[in-house]
Amino acid sequence: MKTIKIQKSPDRAIQDVLRYLFENDKIDGVFSLIKKGNGSHVYSLITKKELLSEIIPTFPLMPANAGKMVSQLTVLEAVKKPIAVVLRPCELRALYELVKVEQAKLDNLLFISFTCSGVLSLKLKKDELDQKIQAYWNNIGTGELIKGLRETCTMCTEFIPYNADIIIPLIGQSLSQETSFIMNTEKGEKYLSGMSSEQSEENIESDEIEAVRKKRTEQKKTVFSNLKLKDLGWDGMINVFGRCINCYACTSVCPVCYCVLCYIRSEEKDKLPLSWQKRLNKNGSLRIPDDTIMYHLVRLLHVGVMCVGCGMCSDVCPTDIPIASIFTTVGEHMQETLEYKPGKDLEEPMPLAVVNPEDFEAAPIETE
C-alpha cells in the first residue's frame, strides 16, 4: 500500500501530518489525546493548529474510550467540516458499533490509527506510570507483555486498525526516528496526497505482527482458562461479583453501553414496601442494593456481542472485579457463535437486531 515516511518519532510525525492537513485546509479540527498543562491526559477536539504540539496520540493511556467520546460529539448530527481523529483500534471498533446503534455519525471524519501495543492501567499511580512508560516503548518492537498493561490489552488480537484511513505501524518498529503512514483507504490517499515526504510501499502485516498475535493468543488462552468461567455457577458468581459496590462505573465508561439511563438506576427498578417484605419473608435475608449479579449478567447480555475488549470497565472498578476479562471471554464466545466481529464492517448487522428462526436451532447448547 502507498506509504509516506517522515523522519520523526510517531507523535511528532503525526503532528506534522496534521499540521499539513490544517495548513492546506483539508481539515478543520483534530480529535486526539493531549497532555494538558495541568498534567492530565485527556481526549480533546482541537481547532487551532498551534495546539498540535500538545497532542500525544500514541501515549499508552486511555482515560476514556475515544469511540464513546466521538459518539458524544456526533450523536445528533455529523460534523460539518472534516476532522482528523487519532484513536486506537478498539476505540475505532467501538465507534463502528455505536454507528450501528445510531449513536454516532462518521461523515467528515478522517481516521488515523496505529498497530496497538496496548495501554497501561489507569490504576497505576503517577510515579508507577512514569516508570512503566520507558519499558513500554522499549518493548514495542517485540510486543513483550510488560507488567502494568491492561489485562485485556495483553490478550487483544484485534490490534490492527483495519478500518482506519491511515495506519501507522508501531508494533515491530524499533523506536526509531522514522514513522510510516500507510494509506489504507482512498480517503486516506486523498488527504495525504501532496505531502512532500518520502514515498514508498508498505504492508501492515509482518512477521513481528504475526509473532505478537501468537503471543497474545496464548495469553488469551491463559486468562480464559484461569477465569474458569464454566465452573463458576451461582456460588462462583457470588464470589466474583460479591464485592461489587453498585457504583455502575463499568456501565458509565463502557463505550457500547450507551443508554442515557440504565434500567438498574431507573424508577421501574424501585421496589414498593410490599415487594421488599415478600422477598424478605421468602428468603429470610436479602442484600440491598439488590440484583447485583443480575445487573452484571444483563449488561453482559446486552453488550457482550458488541464488546470490543477495551478494558475500560476493569480499570475503573473500585473493587478490582475482573469485569473486562469476563466480558471479553463471554463476549468472544457470543461473537463466535453468532459469527460476528464487532467493529469490523458497518454493513454487517448487529445480531441482536436480526432475528432468524433458524438461529435458535443452530445455537449449540452445551450440557454437563
Partner 1 sequence: MTVRKLIHAFMEKKCFQAVLAPVRIPSGESFAYELMNDRTKIEQCEPLPPIMPIPGARVLRDLTRKGEPDFKILCIMHPCEIRAAVELAKLRQVNLNNITFMSFDCPGVFPTKDYILEPKKYDTSYDEILKTFEGENFRVSCTTCIHFSDDGIMTDIHIANLGINGDKLLVQALSKKGEECLGALDLSLDQETSNRQEKINTVRKKREANREKLFSEIRPQVKGMDNLDSYFADCINCHNCMRVCPICYCRQCFFDSSDTKRVETDNYVSRARKKGGIAFPTDTLLFHLGRMSHMNLSCIGCGACEDACARDVPVAQIFNFMADQLQKMFEYLPGRNIEEKIPVLTYTEDELHEYEDAKEKP
Smallest distance, Å, CB 231 to partner 1?
15
Would you say 175 or 238 has its CB closer to partner 1? 238
Would you say 76 or 353 has its CB closer to partner 1? 76
Smallest distance, Å, CB 177 to partner 1?
27
Smallest distance, Å, CB 281 to partner 1?
7
All 3 cell numbers of residue 315? 480499570
83: which strand partners? 29, 109
Would you say 177 or 319 has its CB closer to partner 1? 319
Smallest distance, Å, CB 155 to partner 1?
22
Smallest distance, Å, CB 35 to partner 1?
10
Would you say 209 or 264 has its CB closer to partner 1? 264
Q: Which long-range contacts (CB under 8 A, 24 or more apart) does 174-179 make?
A: 174/141, 175/9, 175/137, 175/138, 175/140, 175/141, 177/7, 177/8, 177/9, 178/5, 178/6, 178/7, 178/8, 179/5, 179/6, 179/8, 179/9, 179/10, 179/12, 179/13, 179/14
Report CA 42 to chain centroid distance, whole Å.
Answer: 15
Smallest distance, Å, CB 134 to partner 1?
21
Would you say 64 or 209 has its CB closer to partner 1? 64
Would you say 138 or 319 has its CB closer to partner 1? 319
Would you say 108 or 157 has its CB closer to partner 1? 108
Rg (CA), the chain: 22
CA distance 216 to 333: 17
Smallest distance, Å, CB 133 to partner 1?
16
Q: Which long-range contacts (CB under 8 A, 24 or more apart) does 165-168 make?
A: 165/110, 165/111, 165/112, 165/191, 166/17, 166/110, 166/111, 166/112, 166/113, 166/191, 166/192, 167/113, 167/114, 167/115, 167/204, 168/10, 168/13, 168/14, 168/58, 168/112, 168/113, 168/114, 168/115
